[in-house]
Amino acid sequence: MILIDGKKIAAELREELRQEVVGLKAKHSKIPGLTVILIGDMAPSQIYVRMKEKAANEVGLKSEVIRYPEAVEEKTVLDKINELNKDENISGILVQLPLPKHIDKQKVIETILPGKDVDGFHPMNVGNLSSGYESSVPCTPLGCYLMIKKIEPNLSGKKAVMIGRSNLNGKPMAQLLLKENCTVTITHSKTKDLKAECLEADIIVAAVGIPELVKADWVKKDAIVIDVGINKTENGIVGDVAFDEVSKVARALTPVPGGVGPMTIACLLKNTIECFKRSQK
Ligand code: NAD
């Protein structure tokens, strides 16, 4: 079984990006800039933002975090986004989710210029992705896609099953694999026989949020299994896939932690650089 080492693949990607930033700086006399807006003091968001900032600095991007207290008015945030939209030194804007209840998430997402939407959540980017046009692609599925391609460069005709249909994971993941000519099934909480669907799959991407949902007898021999789940349990952090048993049947599997997580952050940097390049065209 191939253990898909997300940490290592992400480090390689960051090194490629670092070199690319050097080239862009020489060519355009400026470097891509990422601005992250962080509202409130939720511990996981603080950690994610710190990791994103550190990774951005490591590849030589300009990065900035704008922090607001939990009670900040929605208008203050939207005004700031509009200001950043106009700032030519900012290539990418990310508003760390989740947001406090009084702030309309969709309004925030739609205020970010699609060309600076490094999360790929703006409806324009969602539409472009599903139409097969150039777009920002949500970081987590993009990271999963790059790992799958490392294992199997030719995905044409493969059967892929997404577990979970979120806008963040399942849906964009399905679009990426459809573009690769996979036959894609998106399953969700109302799917009748999830095990039977999974048993058909050459590729399984689990993004559910249920600890160790996917068992060994759900997985076809030699399937590629990508575990997006991050679940806190008594035994620590586990994924949506029962790692020990599935590792005995799968061809390749991502660990949790150390699989999808590091790739998500590296892909945020990739998206920032892509936004910069498109803005220079
Ligand atoms: P979500 O809650 O938005 O979506 C979960 C999906 O799972 C839904 O579409 C739901 O229909 C489906 N589902 C629920 N129960 C099911 C069942 N019994 N059978 C089949 N499908 C079922 O979650 P999300 O935001 O997509 O995140 C999913 C998981 O991925 C979470 O554990 C989250 O923490 C993790 N995550 C990890 C990363 C990363 O970088 N590694 C990034 C984002 C999310």
Q: What is the pLDDT of residue 213?
A: 98
Query: Is 139-261 the same fold as 29-114?
Result: yes
The DSSP secondary structure of 23-74, one letter per residue, reads HHHHHHSS--EEEEEEES--HHHHHHHHHHHHHHHHTT-EEEEEEE-TT--H
Is 209's C-beta closer than 6 angstroms to any atom of ligand 1? yes
Confidence of residue 281 (pLDDT cuts 50, 70, 90): confident
- CATH class as words, domain 139-261: alpha beta
The CATH topology of domain 29-114 is: Rossmann fold (3.40.50)
List, in order, residues 6 or more apart from 80 with CB less than 8 Å away. 37, 66
| Residue 181: how many other CB atoms lie within 10 Å | 12
| CA torsion through residues 278, 171, 84, 67, sign | negative
pTM of the predicted structure, to 2 decimals: 0.98
Q: Please choose, from the candidates 28, 10, 32, 29, the residue with its C-alpha nearest in 3D space to the C-alpha of residue 274.
A: 32
Cβ burial of 154 (10 Å; 0-12, 13-18, 19+) is exposed
Write the residue with the smallest CA distance to atom 18 of ligand 1: 189
Q: Are strands 203-206 and 159-163 parallel, antiparallel or unpaired?
A: parallel
Domain locations along the chain: 29-114, 139-261
Confidence of residue 123 (pLDDT cuts 50, 70, 90): very high
Chain segment 237-260, per-residue pLDDT in tens: 999 999 999 999 999 999 999 999
Is 264's C-beta closer than 6 angstroms to any atom of ligand 1? yes
Task: Give the integer Cα–Cα distance in Å for 182 and 152.
Answer: 12
Chain segment 107-116, per-residue pLDDT in tens: 999 999 999 9
Q: Please choose, from the candidates 118, 160, 155, 124, the residue with its C-alpha nearest in 3D space to the C-alpha of residue 140.
A: 118
Is 143's C-beta closer than 6 angstroms to any atom of ligand 1? no
Is 10's C-beta closer than 6 angstroms to any atom of ligand 1? no
Q: Give the residue-averaged pLDDT of 99-104.
A: 98
**Given the CA of residue 240, which atom of ligand 1 is nearest to it?**
32
Q: How far is the CA of 229 from the centre of ligand 1 (A)?
A: 7
Q: How far is the CA of 21 from the centre of ligand 1 (A)?
A: 33
Q: Give the residue-averaged pLDDT of 47-59.
A: 96
Q: With 90 as the cut, is the pLDDT of residue 199 above it?
A: yes
Chain segment 126-144, per-residue pLDDT in tens: 999 999 999 999 999 999 9
Chain segment 143-163, per-residue pLDDT in tens: 999 999 999 999 999 999 999
SS3 content of the chain, % helix, strand, coil (to 5): 45, 15, 35
Cα-Cα-Cα-Cα dihedral of 218, 222, 228, 234, to 10°? 60
Is 34's C-beta closer than 6 angstroms to any atom of ligand 1? no
Q: How far is the CA of 64 from the centre of ligand 1 (A)?
A: 29
Q: What is the pLDDT of residue 225?
A: 99
